Structure formats: structure tokens, C-alpha cells
């Protein structure tokens, strides 16, 4: 029989499901291997065409590892809480659980027909109460923990309470809020329960914190940064304002250093690690306090108690050694003290500057890096090392969110400060004797000895930094400090479709539910909108109170909650007594290979590492890092096709329309004047005549040329299917085409159709650009095995590329050719038991090695080519020998599992998933001759067969003795001969 992919694929997909062929064993003598994909959000649009790319790669790897004798865990599930379902619910009133279920079913059907070897018995869904029970449980562990900087790990809150009881707060070294109290054990004993809870909250790893959010009053909801455009909501265009709100936060900053250090221990792409490093943003420096000289300021009248008691501005600097070169200080315009620190005389200027800053979007600020702007507050501050008074400015190059929102300006050492000082006429002080040309630009050198620098004069960089840090600390005006850019992560959404936070409030303080009360189920509500008073949707749930009287937390968890631990649930997905049993976690430990997109670099992948480290600190898991090896799959872009239309217009009415092929359109585009256009119209038999060929003449005639997106599904290899195009829309039913060769086709004309070539552009994949290709269509046409191999054939996995089905035919032909190896002319299955020849064995062992090497380095595209070469060779050798083909089936199986399983069974075997990968034997590849490329002065001229046993001297003689070589030398005497055994001979003349 010919290759019947539909039948074969359905047959084996059913067999695998019925036999649970890919179920991972709970415990096994085999070594474990855990292959994980980033699970999808089940959107209504179905499986995105980019998704299968990574899934196919991981599936090949998983199948390969099974053949190599590993106990493989390869699961799949759904990140099923999320905004789109909620948005749909708001519009239709349909419960998000219902639409989510429908979408999941679509995904499952699509995944199944690609033939993935997932262990579906371990499927997880983040929106399933049996799953989110454990997400809530982890939240409770975080609430019940604090970060002890002495042991450098998270500990139960009870150890902190113990410390408070024994020694008070003085010796506690913790990652905590800034406003913790200092107290003695005797004080702690007198605290009321509320006071204790309030204090403990400042230490917990998840805690309530006032944060600024994008509040949209019209929508009654909080928006993410990317939902806000220029101060208006992206959806609807309503005004958005900054609003302070109590929000749950996660103290991820406690783990900043470990998150950074851990990167050196994992096998991830370097760009990915770099992104996380930059995100964490460690800088080593010092914090320094500049006293406010308030002799001319009426600060005493300020409401701001912090400002009144502190009366200094703290800056963070990475170059504390340049402190004697400070000639001004700058605050971010958004800094909370700006109003109080502005003198009446400067008030107008400062307010105008702030107003101007607010108008600029963040993008504007970035693009405009060269313009210098700022405003003087009128206030002076005192440099703690020199006692000098310097001016306090505000400027938008200082960001409120980083460090303390205040910067010291050192114009001689920092180019940005130099520009600022030059622009506003502030002094530029040289501080190192090696600084050059500082009247031209800043010189950030650390070389040389300090000058104009008081007590560090004459010192060098290292000495000065150490000395200053110590001095500042002794004087109580500063200290060495490490700063991280990363901030604590907000952990709450004012939305419905997410995990409820297992917390209730008593007297304004949060308390956890009891563990046995989990899961806290999402209550039913009438509408998925905020309440009239602006409470989150959960505020609508009637009678939803803890023990009937206490208010529950009304926000839900953010999208990343459920995905920050899911790989553990797969280890033991059905467990009701724990997020996963200790046995399961001890056995599977961590993910050996994780494949997914790089867009998750600073979100999911960072949060997951954070939770993993936390779970390890509490002894629930084994490994410090969850994902040992990570591979990024490239983004799949859309590849749009265009048709070109000429509209001939007379008196504002279209009198003729032609769709012209790409080449003709380009000719038209080049036509310089009406005469040339008229020539083309005549050439293409378009009945339209300009009454005048003068460009500027009064003319009510016009030929309008333009391009239109055309659905890529009716285009093959950039050639338009004209019939399908006419059928696609009523207004195209009588479309007239002019083909690439200039011939015309009209719907009534009939006859032979020429080639209509479409234009091409790479764009984002989207419905509106008609460039979305559904995997279902390709599977129906070519089968899953072809789709799998074609997606790999497209190019390196990690590279982004446009989706393009132009070459899929070649892969399909390959599979048919492969099938043919096992069949005779009449398509009858025929294999021989004859002894294989040397050439056949060589072909086989070449591919065994090649594929093995390729898979280990994730180069799937190159193995597809190699398979084609192997099958071409064996076809040429007319090889139908079992001894060769049986091993070839196993090698190809991870890529094209259905056809291989069928052939495997036709060969009389059972269950390809339990087969063994063939052992590579290098002896079959040993050659005794090699066709050496002979080059002269590095230019390849000819090949010459030489025995591989020849050493340099003999080879040189043999080469020079050759007549053809002498012909190329043309009498010239070789100066030197380079001989690389098995590689090349190069004659230098």
C-alpha cells in the first residue's frame, strides 16, 4: 500500500492512548529524565502556530531519551487562569470556567493529532481547585516565613518570634520593611496581639504594602503598564491615574543575591542569563547622607514627619571615591520631598518643570537622552566629607524608582553629570591627577591619585573606597551598600479569574485560613465586574465571609502564581495530601530540559526560581535551581502575501480593475510618466486610454495602484490559486488577472491559467493580516509526521523565523520515499534478510551518529537533512534489508513516530517506545582512501585520491608526481606544501 498517513496516524495515536505508552514510571531502575514545555494559556483562538515548534523539539528529545533507556517524564497541562477568559466573561456573562474548558478541549484535540508523547495522566490545570489548593498552600508558607540574613535562608516565622522573645529586635538580621521597630524582649511581651501581628507583617515573605497602581476610574479597575498608553487605557481610551493601594507583595528582593549567583550554576542561553542579571541589577557602592541646609527653608512647618526627623537626603553611588568632586545633588522630579524642599522663589520654576516632565512619556524621555533639563529647588545640601554647600536640583534623568531617587552630581567623572553641569554653569572639580581634558568631557578613570579631595588626597582608588566607607560609617553619615534594581513583586490582581488569596481580615490585619480549610474556592458572582464602590469583583459574592463574619481578601493572585511551581505538581499530580509526595520530589528532583520562549525571561522564569529556592529553604524540595537546562525556541513570525490591484478611474468611478502579478506591478511602479503607463496598459490589453498624456493636465482620469493582503492559505509557493481567490469573496468573483507572462484571465475565459505571483512581507502573525496558518490544515493535507519534520526542517530551533509552508512538499516526499524503501513496485511490504553490504552499513551508521550528535546539541534541522541523505543513498543502493531498515526506523522514530511505529510493527515488532537506540559502530565509517582537495595558494583546483595511510612526505611526492597537478603548477616551483592528513593539500608557489 502507498503511504496512508491518515490511517496510520489515527491508528497509532489510539494505540498509544489505549496502552498509556508514555506513562512515566513512579520509580524505576532507569535513570530519570524530565523534559518540560512551558504550558500554554488555552486561548479561544486555538493552539498558536508557534507553540508546536517547541513542543515538537521537546517531544523528539523525550522520545529519544526513552530509546536511550531513560525513565522520561514528559507532561503537559494548562495555565488556565487569565485575563482573556475573564474579558470574554464580562462581555458574554459566560463563566470563565466554561470557556476555559471548551478551549482546553480544542487544545487537547490539536495536541493529540500532532502525536506528542505526553503522559496525560499527569495533566494539570492551574484553575482546578485541586491544583490551586496547593498554590494557596505555598502562599501560606510564604506568609508564615521570614528571611534570616544570618543563615541566608527563609525560616518559619516562629524562629523570628523566638528571637523577639529572647533578645528583642536588635540582633535580628532580616530582609524586611524599612520601618521596623527597635524593641527589647520586655517590650515585645507588652505588645498587644495586633501590635505583634503588625510588626511581624513587616518581616513576612508575603506582606501588605502600599503600592502605586494604574487606576482607571471609568473601568473601575487596575491596569498593567502595557495596558496604559500615554495616560489612557488601551481599551476604551479612558483616563488613568496613579493611585496608592494596599497590595500583597512578595519579598523576592530577599533572594536577589541567590538568584544572581544561581545563574552561574545552570545551563541556560547566555542572553537569557544576562537579561536576568540586568533585571536583578546589582551594583556595589555606598549610601551617603547629605544634610539639608535649611537655614533659608521653613521645613519646620512641614507635615512630613520623616523629613522633619531625618533632615538629610540619602544618595546611592557606585563611585564613593569621587565624593569630593560633587558639585550638586539631583532629586527625581517625582521624589516625595520636592515640594517641601523648594524655596518660595523657585516654586514656579520647579512646578513648571514637574508639569513638563509628566507630559513626557517614558519613551520620549529615553529617545531624548541628549537634551539636558532640570530645575534648581533653591535649597542647599551639605557634603558630609568636605562640609561644602552644594545646590539641590531636580531633573528627569533621575528615576524615583531606583536607589533612593537621589543622585550626587560629579561632573568631572560622569558624562551625564558633566553635560548637566556645563549646561547650568555648575562647577567641575578635578579629583584625580590622571583625569584628562575635563573641560571637554568627563573622564571616568579610576587611575591615578586623588587631588582636591581632602583627607583622601594622594590615595589610589581601592584604598580611597575602603577608607571612605569606613569613615562614613564611623561618622554615621553613610556606609558601603549593595543596591539591587529589582523590587519586590506585587502579588495581587483586582480580578475574578485567579486564585483566591487564603486570607481574611480581623481588625484591619490579615490572618491566614487554617490549612484544612483549603482550597478556598472562587465564589460565584453575578457579574465579572468591579463593585459600584470600586471593590474587586469578589466583593460581589454574597455572604462570602470567613466564619460568616470576617472579610476575605478580595483580590486574587496574579497570572504567575500558578506557573511558579507547576513542574512539581507533574511529579505527583493526583496527590491530595501534599503538593507532591516527598518520594516523588526526591526521585524526579528537577527539570532536566525546559523548552520555551525567551519572553518569559524576567517574569515566569525569575518567579519560578524564587519560589523554588523558598521551597528548598523550608525543606520541601531538593534542588536550589528548578530548571537545569533551558532552550529558547525562536518566535514564529507571520509571512504575508499580497495581490496588486490596478483601478482605472474615470470621473471618480472605477471603470476597469485588474489584478496584476508581482513582476508586472513592479514594472508599473517604475513607469515614470503617463506615456509609459499607457504603454503598459496597451501591452496588458487593458481597455483604458488617457485622454491626455500630460501629467499636470486637467484630467479626471487616474490609474490607482495598490496592494492588498491575501489569505496565505490560498497561496502556494507565492503563487495565487486564482479559483480560490475568486471564490473567497463575492466582490472578487469576476476578478480579472494578468499573469506574470502578461496573459489575461477572466472568470468566463476558461482555458489554461498562468502564474499569478504574490508579493511577500514578514509581519506579526495576525488574523487581520491573513497570514495565520492553522496546524490542523497542514495535518489534514500532509499528516502529523510531515508537520513535525517540516517544523524542524525550517531552521535552527532558537532562531526566530517567519512561518512559511513553501518547502513542506519536500518533507512529505521524503517520508514517502522512506516508506518506499520497505515496499516493492506494487507497494507490497517486502524486506530481505540478506547480509548488508559495506556501503549500506556505512549509510546507516553515519545517520546513527549524526542524529545522536544533533539531538544532543538541539540541532534538529540538520538531522532532517541527514535523514533525506540517508534515504537517498539507500534508495540508490536499492536496499531493503531488515538489518539496515530496522535500525533506521528506530533512529527516525522520535521525529516521525507514526510512520515508524507502523513500519516497526510491519517488521514484526511490538511497541517502538520500548525499543533501544542502535549502537554506533565507528568501524563502518573507516575509509582507506580520501579524495584530497588540492589547492594552490589556498584556491581549490582539483581532487586527488590518496591512501589515508600516507604521511606528509609520501603524500607530497604523490601530489607533485601527478600530471594534472603539474599542469596547474605550470612549471612554477612549489615553495611550500601544507599537508593536513585527511583534510587538505595546499601548494604555495
367-396 positions binding RNA, by CB under 7 A: 368-369, 396
- What cell numbers appear for 892 in the block? 527516525
**Separation CA 668–CA 679 (nearest Å):** 10
Closest CA to 276 of 298, 294, 258: 258
212 forms beta bridges with 244
Positions 294 through 333 that interact with RNA (CB under 7 A): 315-319, 332
Of 153, 449, 645, 801, the residue at the interface with RNA (CB under 7 A) is 801
261, 434, 806, 830: which one binds RNA (CB under 7 A): 806
- 3-state DSSP helix/strand/coil percent for the chain, to nearest 5? 40, 20, 40
Name which of 356 and 691 has its Cβ closer to RNA.
Answer: 356
Cβ proximity to RNA: between 174 and 631 the closer is 631
Cβ-based nearer residue to RNA, 135 or 412: 412
Of the two residues 399 and 907, which places its CB atom closer to RNA in the complex?
A: 399
Site for RNA in 482-511 (CB under 7 A): 485
First to last CA, the chain: 62
CB of 842 to RNA, least distance (A): 15
Residue 332 or 681 having the CB closest to RNA: 332
Is residue 976 within the footprint of RNA (CB under 7 A)?
yes
Nearer residue to RNA within complex by CB, 100 or 327: 327
- Asked if 986 touches RNA (CB under 7 A), the answer is yes
Instruction: Please identify, using beta-carbon distances, which residue of 160 and 847 lies nearer to RNA.
Output: 847
User: Is residue 445 a contact point for RNA (CB under 7 A)?
Assistant: no
Contacts of 339 (CB under 8 A, 6+ apart): none
137 binds RNA (CB under 7 A): no
d(CA 472, CA 470) in angstroms, rounded, equals 6
- Please tell me whether residue 198 binds RNA under the rule CB under 7 A: no
The answer to whether residues 285 and 481 touch, using CB atoms and an 8 Å cutoff, is yes
Examine residue 782 and tell whether it contacts RNA (CB under 7 A). no
988 forms part of the interface with RNA (CB under 7 A): yes
Whether 791 contacts 13, CB under 8 Å: no
CB of 761 to RNA, least distance (A): 11
Looking at the Cβ atoms of 158 and 865, the one nearer to RNA is: 865
Pick 13 or 486: Cβ nearer RNA: 486
Three-state DSSP at 948 gives: coil
Piece of 247-255, 515-523, 866-874, 880-888 that binds RNA (CB under 7 A): 866-874
Stretch of residues binding RNA (CB under 7 A), selected from 47-55, 92-100, 469-477, 798-806: 798-806
Q: Which is nearer to RNA, 226 or 698 (CB)?
A: 226
The yes or no reply on residue 968 touching RNA (CB under 7 A) is yes
Q: Which member of 810, 842, 883, 909 binds RNA (CB under 7 A)?
A: 810
| Chain residues 618-637 in contact with RNA, contact rule CB under 7 A | 635
- Quick one: which of 341, 350, 385, 408 contacts RNA (CB under 7 A)? 408
The CB density around residue 420, as the number of other CB atoms within 10 Å, is: 23
Contacts of 988 (CB under 8 A, 6+ apart): 936, 937, 974, 975, 976, 977, 978
Strand spans (E) along 341-374: none
User: Does 402 interact with RNA (rule: CB under 7 A)?
Assistant: yes
d(CA 202, CA 180): 7
In this structure, what DSSP letter does residue 767 have?
G
Query: Nearest distance from residue 721's CB to RNA, in Å?
Result: 12
When asked if residue 925 is in the footprint of RNA (CB under 7 A), the reply is no
Q: Which position among 809, 852, 944, 969 is part of the footprint of RNA (CB under 7 A)?
A: 809
For RNA, which is the closer residue by CB, 90 or 399?
Answer: 399
Nearest to RNA of 161, 958 (CB atom) = 958
By DSSP bridging, strand 71-73 and strand 32-37 are: parallel
Question: d(Cα 475, Cα 455) in Å, to the nearest integer?
Answer: 14
Q: Which is nearer to RNA, 118 or 803 (CB)?
A: 803
Q: Least CB distance from residue 689 to RNA, whole Å? A: 32
Task: Determine, following the binding rule CB under 7 A, whether residue 817 of this chain makes contact with RNA.
Answer: yes
CB of 299 to RNA, least distance (A): 23
Tell me if residue 858 falls in helix, strand or coil: coil
Does 365 help bind RNA (rule: CB under 7 A)? Answer: yes
**Site residues for RNA, window 928-947 (CB under 7 A)?**
931, 933, 935, 937-941, 943
Which of positions 731-770 make contact with RNA (CB under 7 A)?
Answer: 755
- Least distance (Å) between residue 572 CB and RNA: 34
Q: Based on CB atoms, which residue is closest to RNA, 717 or 723?
A: 717
Q: How many C-beta atoms lie closer than 10 Å to residue 897's C-beta?
A: 27
Query: Which residue in 109, 237, 795, 856 binds RNA (CB under 7 A)?
Result: 795
- Per the structure block, which three cell numbers stand in for 880? 531493503
CB 341 to RNA: min, Å: 17
d(CA 801, CA 639): 9
Footprint on residues 590-609 left by RNA (CB under 7 A): 598-599, 601-602
In the region spanning residues 834 to 853, those forming contacts with RNA, defined by CB under 7 A, are: 850, 853
Contact, 122 vs 179, CB < 8 A? no
The DSSP secondary structure of 687-742, one letter per residue, reads ----S---TTS---EEEEEEEEEE-GGGEETTEE-HHHHHHH-GGGTT--EE-TTS
How far is residue 700 CA from its own chain's centroid?
A: 54
Give the binding range for RNA (CB under 7 A) out of 215-223, 429-437, 674-682, 797-805.
797-805
- Give the list of residues 6+ apart from residue 297 with CB closer than 8 angstroms, or none: 341, 343, 379
**CB distance 256 to 617 below 8 Å:** no
Looking from the CA of 116 toward its CB, the CA atoms found within 13 Å total: 26
d(C-alpha 639, C-alpha 663), whole Å: 19
Residue 103: enclosing H or E segment and its boundaries?
A: helix 96-112
Q: Binding residues for RNA, how many (CB under 7 A)?
A: 83
Task: Please give the residues from 688 up to 717 whose contact with RNA meets the rule CB under 7 A.
Answer: 717
Q: Identify any residues that bridge with 32 across adjacent strands, giving them in sequence order.
A: 71
The residues near 28 (Cβ < 8 Å, ≥ 6 apart) are 71
Contact assessment for residue 913 and residue 898, using Cβ atoms and an 8 Å cutoff: no
Of residues 256-295, those binding RNA (CB under 7 A)? 270-271, 274-275, 278-279, 281, 283, 285
At residue 385, the 3 state secondary structure works out as coil
> Considering the rule CB under 7 A, would residue 209 count as an interface residue with RNA?
no
Q: Which of residues 646-665 bind RNA (CB under 7 A)?
A: none
Locus of grid cell 608526481: 961
Amino acid at each position: 500500500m502507498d503511504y496512508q498517513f491518515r490511517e496510520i496516524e489515527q491508528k497509532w495515536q489510539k494505540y498509544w492512548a489505549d496502552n498509556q505508552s508514555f506513562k512515566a514510571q513512579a520509580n524505576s531502575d532507569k535513570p530519570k529524565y524530565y523534559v518540560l514545555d512551558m504550558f500554554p494559556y488555552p486561548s479561544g483562538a486555538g493552539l498558536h502556530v508557534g507553540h508546536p515548534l517547541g513542543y515538537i523539539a521537546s517531544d523528539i528529545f523525550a522520545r529519544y531519551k526513552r530509546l536511550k533507556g531513560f525513565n522520561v517524564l514528559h507532561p503537559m497541562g494548562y495555565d488556565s487562569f487569565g485575563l482573556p477568559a475573564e474579558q470574554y466573561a464580562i462581555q458574554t456573562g459566560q463563566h470563565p470556567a466554561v470557556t476555559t474548558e471548551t478551549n482546553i478541549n480544542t487544545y487537547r484535540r490539536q495536541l493529540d493529532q500532532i502525536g506528542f508523547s505526553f503522559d496525560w495522566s499527569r495533566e494539570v490545570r492551574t484553575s482546578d481547585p485541586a491544583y490551586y489548593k496547593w498554590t494557596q498552600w505555598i502562599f501560606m508558607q510564604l506568609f508564615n516565613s521570614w528571611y534570616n540574613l544570618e543563615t541566608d535562608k527563609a525560616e518559619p516565622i516562629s524562629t523570628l518570634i523566638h528571637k523577639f522573645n529572647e533578645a528583642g529586635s536588635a540582633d535580628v538580621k532580616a530582609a524586611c520593611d524599612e520601618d521596623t521597630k527597635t524593641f527589647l524582649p520586655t517590650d515585645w511581651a507588652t505588645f498587644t496581639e495586633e501590635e505583634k501581628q503588625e510588626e511581624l507583617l513587616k518581616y513576612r515573605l508575603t506582606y501588605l504594602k502600599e503600592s502605586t497602581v494604574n487606576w482607571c476610574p471609568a473601568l473601575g479597575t487596575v491596569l498593567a503598564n502595557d495596558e496604559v498608553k500615554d495616560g489612557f487605557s488601551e481599551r476604551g481610551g479612558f483616563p488613568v491615574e496613579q493611585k496608592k493601594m494596599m497590595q500583597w507583595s512578595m519579598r523576592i528582593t530577599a533572594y536577589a543575591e541567590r538568584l544572581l549567583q544561581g545563574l552561574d550554576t545552570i545551563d541556560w542561553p547566555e542572553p537569557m542569563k544576562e537579561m536576568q542579571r540586568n533585571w536583578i541589577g546589582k551594583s556595589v557602592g555606598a549610601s551617603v547622607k547629605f544634610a539639608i541646609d535649611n537655614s533659608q527653608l521653613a521645613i519646620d512647618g512641614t507635615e512630613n514627619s520623616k523629613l522633619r526627623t531625618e533632615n538629610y537626603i540619602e544618595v546611592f553611588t557606585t563611585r564613593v571615591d569621587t565624593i569630593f568632586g560633587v558639585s550638586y545633588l539631583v532629586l527625581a522630579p517625582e521624589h516625595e520631598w520636592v515640594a517641601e524642599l523648594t524655596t518660595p522663589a523657585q516654586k514656579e520654576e520647579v512646578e513648571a518643570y514637574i508639569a513638563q516632565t509628566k507630559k513626557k512619556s517614558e519613551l520620549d524621555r529615553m529617545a531624548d537622552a541628549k537634551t539636558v533639563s532640570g530645575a534648581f529647588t533653591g535649597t542647599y545640601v551639605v557634603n558630609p566629607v568636605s562640609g561644602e554647600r552644594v545646590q539641590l536640583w531636580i531633573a528627569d534623568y533621575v528615576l524615583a524608582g531606583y536607589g533612593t531617587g537621589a543622585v550626587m552630581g560629579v561632573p568631572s567623572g560622569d558624562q551625564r553629570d558633566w553635560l548637566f553641569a556645563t549646561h547650568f554653569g555648575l562647577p567641575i572639580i578635578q579629583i584625580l591627577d590622571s583625569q584628562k581634558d575635563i573641560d571637554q568631557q568627563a573622564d571616568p578613570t579610576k587611575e591615578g591619585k586623588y587631588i582636591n579631595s581632602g583627607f583622601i588626597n594622594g590615595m589610589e582608588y581601592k584604598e580611597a573606597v575602603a577608607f571612605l566607607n569606613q569613615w562614613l560609617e564611623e561618622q554615621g553619615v553613610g556606609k558601603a551598600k549593595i543596591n539591587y534594581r529589582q523590587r519586590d513583586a506585587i502579588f495581587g490582581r483586582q480580578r475574578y479569574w485567579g486564585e483566591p488569596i487564603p486570607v481574611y481580615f480581623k481588625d484591619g490585619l490579615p490572618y491566614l485560613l487554617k490549612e484544612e480549610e483549603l482550597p478556598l474556592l472562587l465564589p460565584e458572582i453575578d457579574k465579572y465586574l468591579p463593585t459600584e464602590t470600586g471593590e474587586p469583583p469578589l466583593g460581589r459574592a454574597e455572604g462570602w465571609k470567613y466564619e460568616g463574619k470576617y472579610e476575605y481578601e478580595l483580590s486574587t493572585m496574579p497570572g504567575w502564581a500558578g506557573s511558579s511551581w507547576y513542574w512539581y505538581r507533574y511529579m505527583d499530580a493526583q496527590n491530595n495530601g501534599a503538593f507532591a509526595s516527598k518520594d516523588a520530589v526526591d526521585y524526579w528532583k528537577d527539570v532536566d530540559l525546559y523548552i520555551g520562549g525567551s519572553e518569559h525571561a524576567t517574569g515566569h522564569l525569575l518567579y519560578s526560581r524564587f519560589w523554588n529556592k523558598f521551597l528548598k529553604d523550608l525543606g520541601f524540595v531538593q534542588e536550589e535551581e528548578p530548571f537545569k537546562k533551558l532552550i529558547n525556541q525562536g518566535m514564529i513570525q507571520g509571512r504575508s502575501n499580497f495581490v496588486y490591484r490596478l483601478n482605472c478611474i474615470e470621473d471618480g468611478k472605477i471603470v476597469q480593475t485588474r489584478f496584476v502579478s508581482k513582476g508586472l506591478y513592479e514594472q508599473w511602479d517604475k513607469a515614470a510618466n503617463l506615456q509609459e503607463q499607457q504603454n503598459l496598459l496597451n501591452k496588458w490589453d487593458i481597455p483604458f486610454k488617457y485622454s491626455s498624456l500630460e501629467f499636470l493636465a486637467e484630467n479626471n482620469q487616474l490609474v490607482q495602484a495598490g496592494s492588498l493582503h491575501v489569505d496565505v492559505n490560498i497561496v502556494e509557493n507565492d503563487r495565487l490559486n486564482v479559483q480560490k481567490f475568486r471564490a473567497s469573496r463575492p466582490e472578487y468573483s469576476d476578478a480579472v488577472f494578468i499573469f506574470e507572462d502578461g496573459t489575461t484571465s477572466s472568470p468566463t475565459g476558461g482555458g489554461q491559467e498562468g502564474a499569478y505571483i504574490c508579493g511577500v512581507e514578514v509581519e506579526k502573525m495576525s488574523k487581520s493580516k491573513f497570514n495565520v496558518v492553522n496546524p490542523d490544515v497542514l495535518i489534514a493535507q500532509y499528516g502529523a509526521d510531515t508537520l513535525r519534520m517540516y517544523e524542524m526542517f525550517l531552521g535552527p530551533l532558537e532562531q526566530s523565523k517567519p512561518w512559511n509552508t513553501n518547502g513542506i512538499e519536500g518533507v512529505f516526499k521524503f517520508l514517502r520515499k522512506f516508506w518506499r524503501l520497505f515496499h516493492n513496485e506494487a507497494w507490497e511490504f517486502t524486506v530481505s534478510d540478506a547480509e548488508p553490504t559495506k556501503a549500506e552499513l556505512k549509510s546507516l551508521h553515519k545517520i546513527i551518529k549524526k542524529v545522536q550528535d544533533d539531538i544532543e546539541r538541539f540541532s534538529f534541522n540538520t538531522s532532517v537533512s541527514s535523514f533525506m541523505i540517508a534515504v537517498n543513498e539507500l534508495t540508490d543502493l536499492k536496499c531493503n534489508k531488515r538489518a539496515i531498515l530496522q535500525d533506521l526506523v528506530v533512529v527516525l522514530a522520535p521525529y516521525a513516530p507514526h510512520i515508524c511505529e507502523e513500519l516497526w510493527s510491519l517488521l514484526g515488532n511490538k511497541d517502538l517506545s520500548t525499543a533501544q537506540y542502535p549502537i554506533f559502530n565507528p568501524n563502518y565509517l573507516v575509509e582507506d582512501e580520501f579524495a584530497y582537495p588540492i589547492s594552490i595558494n589556498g584556491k581549490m583546483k582539483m581532487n586527488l585520491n590518496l591512501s589515508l595511510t600516507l604521511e606528509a612526505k609520501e603524500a607530497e611526492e604523490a601530489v607533485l608526481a601527478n600530471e594534472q597537478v603539474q599542469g596547474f603548477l605550470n612549471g612554477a616551483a612549489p615553495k611550500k606544501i601544507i599537508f593536513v592528513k585527511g583534510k587538505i593539500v595546499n601548494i604555495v608557489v
